[in-house]
């Protein structure tokens, strides 16, 4: 009889453990939502705090041991100097697709090309400046044409210091001594007139 009771006890415990592992509520004694394996209830004043880890690059699983599809973290670091641009990471939410880290979209890309702007190269200049951030903001807030029903302005980053600024290539027969301040002000010299083949590529990267 004792053996039968012991077997029934183990069977009941196994059933309870199976149900516990199937669905769990944290923060309340409420029954978990039928469609959730984990139901977090905060009382309306708390959130989910994801693991905070220093990623190195999107193609590098570190500090985890391997790329694992579905893994989600908050990255606290920026890639070290020398990391290829295509693998660069900056603070924000990332998930792993099984082969690389992917930044979660937050209404904008992690990087984008600056809208087209004109440079006057009719005469040589020394110490000329352009406020790249202000030019970008002005174009996004006052677009020349928009589709029917579209918002009046394009969403834009609210502060110049939210971005890193890069010039990936430029015509060295037209520009020299090119630099950009932390707030996006570009300083340059004009050393020659532009031609149909002249160019300058400006990239913004979200910090």
Grouping H, G, I as helix, E, B as strand and the rest as coil, residue 178 is strand
**Alpha-carbon gap, residue 7 to 120, rounded angstroms:** 88
Q: What is the pTM (predicted TM-score) of this model? A: 0.54
Which residues touch 51 (CB under 8 Å, ≥6 apart)?
A: 73, 74
CB-based contact 139:152 (threshold 8 Å): no
φ and ψ at residue 99, rounded to 5 degrees: -130, -15
pLDDT on residue 142: 92
Q: H helices within 82-190, ranges in order?
A: 132-141
Q: Which helix (H) or strand (E) holds 8?
A: helix 2-22
pLDDT on residue 108: 56
| pLDDT tens digits, 162-194 | 899 999 999 999 999 999 999 999 999 999 999
Check whether 155 has a pLDDT greater than 70: yes
């Amino acid at each position: 009889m004792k053996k039968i009771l012991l077997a029934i006890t183990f069977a009941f415990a196994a059933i309870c453990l199976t149900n516990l592992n199937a669905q769990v509520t944290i923060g309340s004694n409420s029954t978990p939502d039928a469609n959730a394996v984990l139901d977090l209830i905060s009382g309306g004043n708390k959130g989910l705090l994801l693991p905070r880890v220093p990623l190195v690059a999107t193609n590098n699983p570190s500090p985890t041991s391997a790329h694992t599809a579905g893994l989600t973290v908050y990255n606290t670091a920026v890639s070290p100097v020398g990391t290829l641009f295509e693998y660069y990471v900056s603070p924000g939410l990332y998930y792993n697709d099984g082969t690389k880290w992917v930044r979660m979209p937050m209404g904008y890309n992690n990087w984008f090309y600056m809208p087209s702007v004109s440079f006057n190269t009719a005469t040589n200049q020394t110490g000329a400046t352009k406020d790249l951030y202000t030019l970008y903001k002005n174009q996004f807030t006052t677009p020349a044409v928009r589709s029917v029903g579209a918002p009046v302005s394009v969403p834009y980053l609210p502060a110049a210091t939210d971005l890193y600024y890069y010039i990936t290539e430029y015509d060295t027969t037209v520009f020299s001594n090119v630099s950009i301040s932390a707030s996006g002000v570009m300083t340059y010299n004009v050393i020659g007139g532009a031609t149909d083949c002249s160019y300058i590529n400006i990239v913004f990267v979200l910090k």
